[in-house]
């Protein structure tokens, strides 16, 4: 009996030692992550639509049809007019799905998409949390359910779409550029060749190339790479796209010829331009004109303007050392100028929210630093920030407020998604059925995208992706050039 009691006491002491090692803050943070996940689940139920893997059913039906020996692009989903609209390389990637049930395919896609989103957010948030001293697991644990709850995340998962996976491919190149800029400090001489290749970032551009081969709209990132003279990355992206596309001609020649020879230009296969979930510039103009079709010349003129604005702001953002904002601006620009941008395509609002929130924090931190270096209040002459005088005590708290408010408003807009209560479609119902306010709500997400392309702030020096060019000289930002001149 005493021996038994002794063994139990030893086990209890071991448990107590483990309990002491658990930081109370870790328990609290884990509880917060759980509460945020539950709140996100409730929000999807409140603001989302009924989801039944609708798009995944089309993909699944198309590859089952194709696997049975019929033509891929001749498939039409029963009860609809919709068929397979992706390039043949995407069909090849989805072909193994023909051997599993549709429900399993949808769940696997959702799990892969959430995992990819978590990895991307970890990469994007890592520089921010390192600066602020936050635990990465906690920040990502909160960010993932928040991102899933908003319109692009929940629509992508609920309909069985691939947007988060394409987003991950593109953002992998951003992380590759970051690793490439630090290759001198990250590479371990004793590491194996695979480890050295991955952390060298030499593969940057392959993600954009694969995304372009799967869905054509990411090609705008290649244009951005060319404009910013990132020649090696652009060449990798172009080479990957061309190689994969040529490979699809070799493997499935009839489907490749059918797609690039006809299906690509059949825009009616996707849907009418004025449909409410089309939150692109083309959809906005069609609804404003209360027309099924977009006014072509007007759309072309505004698209060229938005393209020039978005790419020029992205190039300036990169020159000032903020590659994340540059990538975000390119993605938002692609959403705006694309003829069809369904709400599940708008995943680029996720990094836009991150940029706005971080800009708010950075500005407040800078303001605190200025306040601490200012002279004592006794010499304060009533003019904040003039001649080194201490600003009012409320000034640091308000600095960055507009960026923080913009981040919160943007998140709430895409969480509530006010377009659906005012959803209309011609010829049955006019888009002005609910008056001017209803028209504004129906186009609210498209308007938000346009404002972001025009006004999303970048953070000088926040995310530099400088690396040595072919001449062996490090790239310099505008800020660094001005510093050198001085």
Give the DSSP per-residue string, 50-108. --S-HHHHHHHHHHHHHHTTS-GGG---TTSS----S-HHHHHHHGGGGGS-HHHHHHH
> How far does CA 135 lie from the centroid of its chain?
22
* Helix runs in 346-466, H state only: 349-373, 395-398, 401-416, 435-442, 444-455
- Of 252, 250, 175, 182, the C-alpha closest to 206 is 175
Q: Are 285 and 295 in contact (CB under 8 A)?
A: yes
- Higher model confidence: residue 362 or residue 309? 309
What is the sign of the dihedral through the CA atoms of 476, 176, 358 and 133? negative
pLDDT at 483 over 50: no
pLDDT for residue 189: 64
Cα distances from 15 to residues 1, 5, 8, 195, 411, in angstroms, run 21, 15, 11, 39, 43
Average pLDDT over residues 379-390: 49
The residues, any chain, with a CB within 8 Å of residue 403's CB and separated by 6 or more, are: 356, 357, 359, 360, 363, 457
The span from the CA of 67 to the CA of 100, in Å, is 12
Confidence band (pLDDT; 50, 70, 90) for 482?
very low
| pTM as predicted | 0.85
* Percent over 90 (pLDDT), the chain: 56
What is the sign of the dihedral through the CA atoms of 250, 251, 254 and 258? negative
Give the range among 54-68, 112-126, 169-183, 200-214 with minimum mean pLDDT: 169-183
pLDDT (tens digit per residue) in 419-440:
999 988 788 888 899 899 999 9
Cα distances from 196 to residues 124, 200, 427, in angstroms, run 21, 6, 59
The span from the CA of 275 to the CA of 446, in Å, is 12
pLDDT at 67 over 70: yes
pLDDT at 77 over 80: yes
pLDDT at 479 over 50: no
Q: What is the mean pLDDT of the chain?
A: 84
pLDDT for residue 393: 52
Average pLDDT over residues 359-365: 85
Give the DSSP per-residue string, 174-201. HHHHHHHHTHHHH--TTS-HHHHHHHHT
pLDDT at 474 over 50: no
The span from the CA of 38 to the CA of 35, in Å, is 5
The span from the CA of 456 to the CA of 329, in Å, is 8
pLDDT (tens digit per residue) in 270-302:
778 889 999 999 999 999 999 998 999 999 999
Confidence band (pLDDT; 50, 70, 90) for 188?
low
- Higher model confidence: residue 169 or residue 371? 169
The span from the CA of 120 to the CA of 115, in Å, is 9
Structural domain spans, the chain: 29-270, 271-479
pLDDT at 345 over 60: yes
- Of 107, 127, 126, the C-alpha closest to 115 is 107
Q: How many Å is the maximal CA-CA distance in the chain?
A: 92
pLDDT (tens digit per residue) in 394-408:
556 677 789 999 999
pLDDT at 372 over 60: no
The residues, any chain, with a CB within 8 Å of residue 429's CB and separated by 6 or more, are: none
């Amino acid at each position: 009996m005493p021996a038994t009691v002794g063994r139990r006491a030893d086990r209890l002491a071991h448990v107590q030692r483990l309990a002491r090692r658990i930081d109370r803050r870790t328990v609290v943070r884990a509880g917060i992550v759980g509460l945020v996940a539950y709140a996100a689940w409730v929000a999807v139920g409140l603001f989302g639509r009924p989801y039944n893997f609708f798009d995944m059913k089309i993909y699944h039906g198309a590859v089952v049809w194709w696997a049975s020996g019929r033509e891929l692009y001749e498939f039409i989903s029963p009860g609809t007019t919709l068929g397979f609209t992706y390039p043949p390389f995407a069909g090849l990637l989805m072909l193994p799905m023909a051997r599993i049930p549709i429900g399993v395919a949808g769940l696997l896609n959702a799990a892969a998409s959430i995992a990819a989103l978590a990895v991307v957010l970890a990469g994007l948030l890592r520089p921010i949390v390192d600066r602020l001293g936050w635990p990465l697991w906690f920040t990502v644990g909160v960010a993932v359910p928040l991102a899933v709850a908003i319109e692009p995340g929940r629509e992508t998962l609920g309909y069985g779409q691939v947007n988060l996976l394409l987003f991950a491919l593109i953002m992998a190149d951003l992380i590759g550029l970051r690793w490439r800029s630090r290759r001198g400090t990250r590479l371990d001489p004793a590491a194996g060749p695979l480890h050295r290749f991955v952390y060298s970032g030499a593969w940057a551009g392959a993600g954009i190339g694969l995304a372009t081969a799967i869905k054509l709209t990411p090609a705008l990132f290649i244009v951005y790479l060319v404009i910013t003279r990132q020649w090696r990355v652009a060449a990798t992206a172009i080479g990957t796209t061309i190689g994969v596309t040529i490979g699809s001609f070799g493997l499935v020649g009839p489907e490749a010829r059918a797609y690039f020879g006809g299906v690509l230009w059949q825009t009616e296969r996707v849907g009418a331009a004025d449909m409410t979930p089309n939150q692109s510039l083309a959809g906005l103009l069609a609804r404003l004109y209360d027309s099924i079709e977009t006014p072509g010349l007007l759309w072309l003129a505004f698209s060229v303007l938005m393209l020039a604005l978005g790419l020029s702001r992205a190039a300036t953002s990169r020159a000032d050392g903020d590659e994340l904002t540059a990538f975000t601006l390119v993605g938002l620009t692609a959403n705006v100028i694309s003829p069809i941008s369904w709400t599940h395509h708008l995943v680029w609002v996720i990094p836009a929210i991150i940029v706005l929130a971080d800009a708010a924090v950075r500005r407040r931190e800078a303001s605190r630093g200025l306040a601490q270096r200012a002279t004592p209040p006794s010499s304060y002459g009533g003019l904040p920030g003039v001649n080194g005088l201490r600003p009012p005590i409320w000034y640091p708290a308000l600095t960055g407020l507009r960026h923080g408010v913009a981040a919160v408003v943007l998140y709430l807009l895409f969480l509530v998604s006010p377009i659906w209560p005012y959803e209309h479609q011609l010829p049955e119902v006019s888009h002005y059925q609910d008056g001017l306010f209803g028209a504004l709500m129906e186009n609210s997400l498209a308007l938000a995208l346009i404002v972001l392309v025009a006004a999303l702030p970048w953070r000088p020096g926040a995310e530099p992706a400088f690396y040595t060019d072919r001449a062996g000289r490090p790239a310099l930002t505008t800020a660094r050039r001005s510093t050198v001149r001085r």
